[in-house]
Amino acid sequence: MGNPAHKTQLRFLVIGCGSIGKRHIKNLRALGVSDILAFDLRADRRGDVTSTLGICAVENLDAAWERRPHVAIVAAPTSLHVPLALKSASRQCHLFVEKPLSHDWEGVQRLLETVKQNRLVTLVGCNMRFHPGLTALNSLLADRTIGNVIAARVEVGHYLPDWHPWEDYRQSYSARRELGGGVILDAIHEIDYIRWLLGEVAGATCVAGKLSQLEIDTEDVAAILLRFENGVVGEIHLDYIQRAYRRTCQIIGEDGTLHWDYTAGEVRWFSAQTKQWKVYSNPDGWHPNQMYLDEMKHFLCCVAGEEESTLDVFDAAKVLRIALAAKEAARQQRWIELRSQTWNTNPIL
């Protein structure tokens, strides 16, 4: 794999010690980072990372700032992403922010300006960009294997109580509006990667709501329709309901079709010329944590100045605008135009 950590001996502050925060700590260590500090409001989580991972966990952020971290990893609930990222950026910390960048637009523009002014390296954690199936799709599209792309269908569905069976789903950020939950923002991976594959989005509409018996106050299903600037039509289905986890992407071109199935671990390419399917499987022994490990390795290389961020806060702000437009379109039951040249303002939301 290689080890980028030796290139920059920096102190990392992990803000938020839930499951994703602990995953990042473990992966940082696997990549050779040893100077790690953690913070969480919950004493049980601080105690857990101290006892199981041997990480110093502080009771408040002031104590963390006194240690002068160089890099902050924001893994708190979505509604706290921007406030915590702003505090970190104002102290010259490079930033890794978990997806989504935020739950609304408040403070986003200020964060972008602070990052730009302080010339900080940033990455927003959309780990699906590091999945071998989606990277294969990206390469096949770049090679124009299916010719002119016409449409795409994207789906992800999973029963919310099964996501984290060790905790009460009703207390999770996914279930709570004030924490930035709801399937549209929770499953923003799908919005991000389809834009990564197909380009900028020109407009969006959406039907969404809370339709199930789940005890949540957020939307549990959404059907989003996108029009891309290149004319491609995109359909995205998201839900908290499906009992059998499903995550797929189908891209339809004039010369063939590409289909990715997460659970099957494969990409299938149908060629109009050969009339046959060709299958690309995940590497032998591949494990989902590899996405997160590769993502963190990429971030360390970005901090070291060796790579350009695949999704910095500026690009993630564009993805957030699409998600917020979908939410607003569902609320107003209308079509919303999105123009890439005005992405850094928020005139419609």
**pLDDT for position 182:** 92
Amino acid of residue 314: F
Question: What are the φ/ψ torsions at residue 176 (nearest 5 degrees)?
Answer: -120, 120
Contacts of 175 (CB under 8 A, 6+ apart): 160, 169, 181, 214, 215, 216, 217, 218
Which domains does the chain possess? 6-127+294-310 (3.40.50.720), 128-283+318-342 (3.30.360.10)
Least Cα distance to 249 among 156, 140, 126 occurs for: 156
CB 262 within 8 A of CB 247: yes
Contacts of 62 (CB under 8 A, 6+ apart): none
Whole-model pTM: value is 0.93
Instruction: List the strands of the sheet with 256-261, edge to edge.
Output: 276-281, 266-271, 256-261, 246-253, 149-157, 233-239, 221-228, 201-209, 336-337
CB 101 within 8 A of CB 319: yes
Flag residues of the chain having pLDDT under 50. Answer: 1, 5-7, 341-349
Tokens of 185: 């923002």
β-bridge pairing 94-98 and 256-261: unpaired
Residue 146 is classified by DSSP as T
Cite the DSSP H helix spans in 37-131: 43-53, 61-66, 81-89, 108-118
Dist. CA 284–CA 272, nearest whole Å: 29
**pLDDT for position 3:** 56
Least Cα distance to 82 among 104, 60, 59 occurs for: 104
**pLDDT for position 165:** 83
**pLDDT for position 339:** 76
